[in-house]
Structure 1
Amino acid sequence: MLARTERGRMAETDGAPGVRYRFAEPTLGLPASRRAVVLAAGRSERMRALTAGGSKAHLHLGGVSLIERAVGRLLAVGIEDVIVVVGARSTSVERLVQRIARHGVRTLFADRWMDGNGASLAAAERELVDDPLFVVMVADHLFSDGATDELVAASQPSVLVDEHPDPLIWSEGTRVRIEGGRALEFSKELSALPVDCGAFVLSPAIFEAQRRAAAEGDASLSAALCRFAAQHPIDALPLPAGAWWHDLDTPEDVRAARRSLRRSLGKPADGPVSRLVNRPISTRICMAIARLRPNPSVVSVIALLVCAIGSSLLALGKGIAGGVFVQLGSVVDGVDGEMARLQYRTSAWGALMDGVLDRIGDAMVVAGLTIWAVNAGMIGASWAIVLAVGALTGSMLSMATKDRIRALGMREPPEDRLRPLLGGRDARLLLIAMAAVVGQPVWGLIAIVVTTVATLIARLVSVARRSVDPV
């Protein structure tokens, strides 16, 4: 098993028996060119069951076509000009690109696409011959967020490699022989463990290498890379820690990619309630409705309406039904952000609207609990008001303080130390739902006051200490 590298050093690890690999540290910085080529000229023969004979470029994952994902990821990391090379079923792919195209995206037809992906790349020579460097990616490879960031920023020829691939990927992938951090050979026949991920930074010298390979009877990209590597060093950059990728050649590959996409929809800051209770449900809802491409802000409104129903039921004293709707609202509240991340539709406006609607939902749920407790004679009106104000103040100050700390650029406390206090919104709504189901609205209010105030105090104390301590 090969270890992943930490920035700033080479990594030398055991691979196949008798073999040791050393991966290059990425040479970061803006490349001399901000252009990229996406190879989308293949026939997609093994995907006929899903494409009905069409191109894989049309295949949708999470409501977004493969070609849109490839182009969108490149634009997101700063590429300014994307050339999509088409071949088989070129008309339909060109129409798809035109529908999704924004400034800096265009198609190019490869006359000799049938000869191999190296010949497809060669079609872009006139466009790229004057560029010192450019990015090359394969359209049917799916990457997680951040997987290609270091590669795209590389300032010399590089290849992204997976040093511990899945056995099936290794058996079908293009393997890479690596020495001294350089990729020297690309072939499916090698015994080396690493495989290339179908993402490269290359120079125009690749076109001469492709001509030599084609003249020798092999027009594949792998053959061109071998000849290129013989004269020009290619850095081997390992897939970043936690990143993943998929080569989509079969229906099973697509199913695996959908699973990876769903699992990637959570956030690093998720607490135990989100991670163990909400996300397993919300991400499945998100993937199920993704093909409808709902506006994330509409989903935010739906989550608020679900909370409003729960609040109304609580006010009527229907604890079990109210608790179920409150928790359902908490689950649905995660779908809007998941949808935005899944379909490249995140925006500052959407985040602002989601935060405002969350606070409104919190107020409604607390109001529902309070009305229930007073009407049922469980607590006097004065004490009910005190608890309600405490719950609302704690809930809103907890989030407002967190946002203010970030806005002021202060050192944020480690959230993993605060999560056990259950002061997050997901935990608050779960506590309310549990209290409602067992018929204890007063204890639900008390729990919210205690957890939110405790979290607020802990956050302030932590920030105060970190502001005094040297960085």
Structure 2
Amino acid sequence: MSESLTQQQAEIHGLATAILLPSASVFGDAIERRPGVAGPLTSVVGIGLFQRAVLTLQRAGIRQLIVLAGQEEDQLKQALGRGPRVTIAVRWMPIREFPLDDPRTWDVLAEEVHGFCLIASARGLFSRPLIESLRRDVQHGQAILVAQPAGRPGAGERRVPVTVRAERLLALGSARGEESGLVAGELLVVPASLMQSSNTPDSTEDTIPIRSWIERAARDGRVRVLRTDVNPSEWYQDVRTQDDVPRAERRLFSSLKGEFEGFVDRYFNRKLSRWFTRVFLVLGLSPNAITMIATVIGILAAAEFGIGTYSAGILAAALFQLAAVIDCCDGEVARLTFTESPFGAWLDIAMDNVVHMAIFAGIAVGAYQRAAGQDEAWTPLALGAAAIVGNALSFMLVNRAQKIKAASGWKTPVHAAWSDFMLKNVASRDFSVIVLLFALLSKLEWFLWMAATGSIVFAVLMLWVIRPSATSRA
């Protein structure tokens, strides 16, 4: 079977279509328009719930989107037009012409779906890994229901409890002797065959038939439950009232994580960077602008190191730590506002290396000034030069490794694993704390020995890792 035919069949039988219900709950409740109730235009970190849902689905690989919109259709279109570019196909179907409680509406939709369909409302936030997991786990004839811990419901909330056994849905509601502590999220996946009116009993007239589909499939053992409290990256967060917005924003911020970050990033820099990120979002700064702010602070720190005094070293180390904190913010803003770009990722890495080499040079000059007139005063300059050369080589090799990874060009899985290990555990900003420690001890020249040795060893190891793959690609 040819590769193109395999891809076509995967597309036909996979999950590539989503239906969004901005004006109603997946399980039939209309979204009330009263003070305090969240709607599809409710803003979470500067972007409306509906817009966030569309952009997250787009990033997760959904290729077709059908929106069953009510009276807010024009406002939703305007919101999509103002934000990051939407590249997936969007079909707007007004519910005044396609009522949600009319089985014929779902017959029309079933004809548009090939394989499986994701159905969601605009009453919650969900992560891209959650959608990617749903896309990977679809099985012929099986539905998937997303469930979350029940927690404490808000005033007036109507939530659907689920009864689960061995990851299979037993019932929507609490069955006798079966309490799972879970409630259904406003997100599920159904096969197109389940959406047809022949699967809708007459008793569901005047209601959205989705619940009856799930209950029928559950009786046949054809509904798998995906819990959002198992994998932290696959999360779902209800946003039904304005009181839920701060919780949703905290969940968004807690989900932020860079590709390469170490212990200090995770447990210190990220804790502080979120405060700066909130300020940058209010100011409307782009991720690239934040990258340049961190770069300027880092270069100022390098210049301060060059003065060579103890107090200047302490101030420079503090500035360098501040630059490391702000350097976390560009990625956070990019992920929160869906403005990631290949150029932005390259600029972030490039400016990081510019700052690091400037820091090495500044510390070397400062150590040289402190040792001026001594026989070995040249040693700090030599160590600084070695650290800069090693850093430059490492930057070039890391770029090459990322190109090989993007092209799936690793010669063996062992080389790919070594590359990931080195990038995730060595290429991080954690050494900013080490610099601060040496500055406090007035032993910055010791750091030069470590930087020179470490950067050269890292470059040699990266060369050893990528050389076989680079040679085979050539």
Q: Which amino acid aligns with 2:246?
A: R
When residues 83 and 206 of structure 1 are mapped into structure 2, their CA distance, relative to the original with a 3 A threshold, is same
- Report the CA distance between 1:81 and its aligned residue: 1.6
Distance in 2 separating the partners of 1:274 and 1:97: 33
Structural mapping, 1:31-430, within 5 Å: 31-32=12-13, 34-42=16-24, 44-45=31-32, 48-49=35-36, 56-87=39-70, 89-100=72-83, 101-111=86-96, 119=101, 123=105, 125-132=107-114, 133-153=116-136, 154=138, 155-162=140-147, 165-168=149-152, 173-178=159-164, 182-187=168-173, 191-193=178-180, 194-197=182-185, 198-203=187-192, 205-208=194-197, 209-210=199-200, 212-215=202-205, 218-219=207-208, 221-227=210-216, 229=218, 233-239=222-228, 241-242=231-232, 243-267=234-258, 269-317=260-308, 318-377=312-371, 380-405=376-401, 407=404, 409=410, 410-413=415-418, 423-430=426-433
Paired with 1:288 and 1:188, the residues of 2 have a C-alpha distance of 45
Which amino acid in the other structure matches residue 107 of structure 1? W
- After superposition, the CA RMSD in angstroms is 3.8
* Distance in 1 separating the partners of 2:72 and 2:424: 52
Question: Please, which moves more after superposition, 375-384 or 257-266?
Answer: 375-384
3-state SS of paired residue (1:107): strand
**Equivalent residue letter for 1:186:** L
Range moving further from structure 2, 118-127 or 377-386: 118-127
- Measure how far apart 1:177 and its partner are: 3.6
For residues 92 and 417 of structure 1, do their structure 2 counterparts lie closer, same or farther at Cα, with a shift above 3 Å needed? closer
Task: Give the Å deviation of 1:264.
Answer: 1.3
Q: Are residue 446 (structure 1) and residue 449 (structure 2) matched?
A: yes
Q: TM-score, normalised on structure 1?
A: 0.77
Answer whether contact 2:124 2:238 (CA < 8 A) is retained.
yes
Residue aligned with 2:68, SS? strand
Q: In the aligned structure 2, how far is the partner of 1:178 from the partner of 1:277?
A: 39
Task: Name the CA distance, whole Å, in 2 between partners of 1:395 and 1:302.
Answer: 21
- Distance in 1 (CA, whole Å) between partners of 2:163 and 2:238 is 20
How far apart, CA to CA, are the structure 2 residues paired with 1:403 and 1:168? 48
Q: 1:363 to 1:418 in 2, by over 3 A?
A: closer
SS at match of 1:93: helix
The one-letter amino acid of 1:59's match is T
The alpha-carbon deviation at position 357 of structure 1 amounts to 1.4
Q: How many residues align?
A: 429
- Partner secondary structure for residue 411 of structure 1: helix
Q: 1:293 to 1:121 in 2, by over 3 A?
A: farther
**What is the distance in 2 between the residues matched to 1:389 and 1:47?**
66
Give the secondary-structure state (helix, strand or coil) at the position aligned to 1:41: coil
Quote the Cα distance in structure 2 between the aligned partners of 1:253 and 1:394: 49
Gaps of 5+ in 1: 1-27, 466-471
Q: C-alpha deviations, 1:108-142, integer Å up to 9, x for none? A: 222399x9xx5399756534435343221122221
1:41/1:120 contact within 8 Å kept: no
> Residue 386 of structure 1: CA displacement?
0.8
Provide the rounded CA distance (Å) in 2 between the counterparts of 1:333 and 1:458: 26
Report the counterpart of residue 433 of structure 1 in structure 2. Answer: 436
Instruction: Describe the superposition over 1:54-95 as per-residue Cα deviations: whole angstroms up to 9, x where unpaired.
Output: x62222323332112211122223322211222254442343
Which amino acid in structure 2 is aligned with residue 411 of structure 1? A
**d(CA) in 1 for partners of 2:33 and 2:167?**
34
Task: Give the counterpart letter for 2:146 in structure 1.
Answer: V
Q: For 2:290 and 2:59, locate their aligned partners in 1 and report how far apart those are by CA, in whole Å.
A: 24
Shift of 1:99: 3.8
Residues 119 and 219 in structure 1, CA contact (< 8 A), matched pair in contact too: yes
Contact 1:304 1:361 in 2 (8 A): yes
Higher deviation after alignment, 33-42 or 433-442: 433-442
- For 1:212 and 1:291, the matched residues in 2 are separated by 52
Q: Which amino acid in the other structure matches residue 244 of structure 2?
A: D
Question: Unmatched 5+ residue regions in structure 2?
Answer: 1-8, 25-29, 469-474
409-418 vs 426-435, greater mean Cα deviation: 409-418
Instruction: Provide Cα deviations, 1:369-389, integer angstroms capped at 9, x if missing partner.
Output: 122222333675521221111
| SS in structure 2 of the partner of residue 412 of structure 1 | helix
Distance 2:174 2:211 in 1: 9
What secondary structure is seen at the aligned counterpart in 2 of 1:167? coil
Residues 280/296 of structure 1: CA separation in 2 closer, same or farther (3 Å cut): same
Are the aligned partners of 2:101 and 2:207 in contact in 1 as well (CA < 8 Å)?
Answer: no
Percent identity, aligned pairs only?
A: 20
